[in-house]
């Protein structure tokens, strides 16, 4: 089995195709969202397009944007693989404009890449319908900031307190939790202390046939999907727009 080293954003996207960590996060978010059939969804920073396809598979009307044409192409390929229709556009949060309001806006692992995250949230708020929902995931715990964050272009990691402080002027939070307790020592040792890329088993047919260690890890992720632990390497949040004063 070949191996991918997560030493840039592109390889991180490749790994997400078969990553049980990312997929468990998506499952949590989908359970929080419930039925989204017919809802207008904007995905900011579509990346490799897995969650875009999940949303479209749930019969949402999905528009996906990303600053990279390569990522938009990747997103379209993923949508084709899932046999779903989506709309796409190359754009940043700051430059994107729409005449319509969205029922749901999704920014998974996005705002940590934006230097001015306050104004990013303000822009997201302006595009949401009054009864809409915002979905955000971010890397958690600033003390874990290390090599992985640097190569992916992160400005910061978040705690519950800092994410709530960022959101409080724009959103009322209905769900927020950490995820990835198992990954804290991994991130601390490999990314923070050793400052080397994460080696990850590669993408390919054999990746769907995990070995014993991989099966154990997947079982732990499944357990944590149902049990919210007090810390983790990711933060997941869903909220509703507040009326700005």
DSSP reduced 3-state for 76 = helix
CA gap 152, 143 in Å, rounded: 17
In this structure, the chain runs to a length of: 245
Number of compact structural domains in the chain: 1
Termini Cα distance of the chain: 56
**In this structure, are residues 21 and 184 in contact, taking their beta carbons and an 8 Å threshold?**
no
What residues are paired with 234 via a beta bridge? 139, 179
Q: What is the pTM for the complete model shown?
A: 0.89
Alpha-carbon distance 111 to 100, whole Å? Answer: 22
Instruction: Look up the CATH number of the domain holding residue 7.
Output: 3.40.50.150
Q: Give pLDDT tens digits along the chain (245 positions).
A: 345 454 554 444 445 556 788 889 999 999 999 999 999 999 999 998 999 999 999 999 999 999 999 999 999 999 999 999 999 999 999 999 999 999 999 999 999 999 999 999 999 999 999 999 999 999 999 999 999 999 999 999 999 999 999 999 999 999 999 999 988 998 999 999 999 887 665 444 444 455 665 676 777 778 888 899 999 999 999 999 999 87
> The domain containing residue 232 runs over which residues?
3-241
CA–CA gap between residue 15 and residue 26 (Å, rounded): 15
- In DSSP terms, 5 is beta-bridged to 199
3-class DSSP state for residue 222? helix
Calculate helix-pair angle for 160-167, 117-127, nearest 10 degrees: 50
Please tell me the distance from the alpha carbon of residue 125 to that of residue 243, in angstroms, as a whole number: 10
Longest dimension (CA), the chain: 56
User: How many other CB atoms are there within 10 angstroms of residue 1's CB atom?
Assistant: 11
CA distance readout (Å), 114 to 18, 49, 165: 26, 19, 16
The structure tokens listed for 17 are 């195709």
């Amino acid at each position: 089995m070949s191996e991918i080293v997560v030493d840039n954003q592109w390889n991180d996207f490749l790994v997400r195709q078969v990553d049980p960590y990312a997929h468990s996060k998506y499952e949590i978010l989908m359970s929080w969202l419930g039925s989204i059939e017919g809802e207008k969804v904007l995905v900011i920073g579509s990346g490799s397009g897995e969650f875009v396809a999940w949303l479209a598979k749930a019969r949402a009307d999905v528009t996906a944007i990303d600053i990279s044409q390569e990522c938009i192409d990747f997103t379209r390929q993923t949508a084709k693989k899932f046999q779903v229709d989506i709309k796409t556009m190359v754009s940043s949060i700051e430059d994107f404009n729409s005449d319509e309001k969205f029922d749901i806006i999704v920014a998974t692992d996005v705002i940590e890449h934006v230097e001015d995250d306050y104004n990013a949230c303000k822009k997201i708020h302006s595009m949401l319908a009054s009864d809409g929902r915002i979905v955000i995931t971010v890397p958690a715990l600033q003390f874990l900031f290390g090599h992985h964050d640097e190569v992916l272009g992160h400005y910061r990691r978040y705690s519950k307190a800092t994410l709530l402080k960022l959101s409080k002027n724009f959103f009322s939070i209905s769900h927020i939790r950490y995820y990835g307790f198992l990954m804290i020592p991994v991130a601390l040792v490999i990314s923070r202390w050793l400052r080397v890329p994460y080696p990850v088993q590669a993408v390919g047919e054999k990746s769907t046939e995990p070995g014993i260690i991989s099966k154990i890890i997947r079982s732990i992720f499944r357990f944590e999907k149902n049990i919210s632990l007090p810390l983790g390497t990711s933060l997941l949040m869903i909220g509703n727009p507040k009326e700005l004063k």
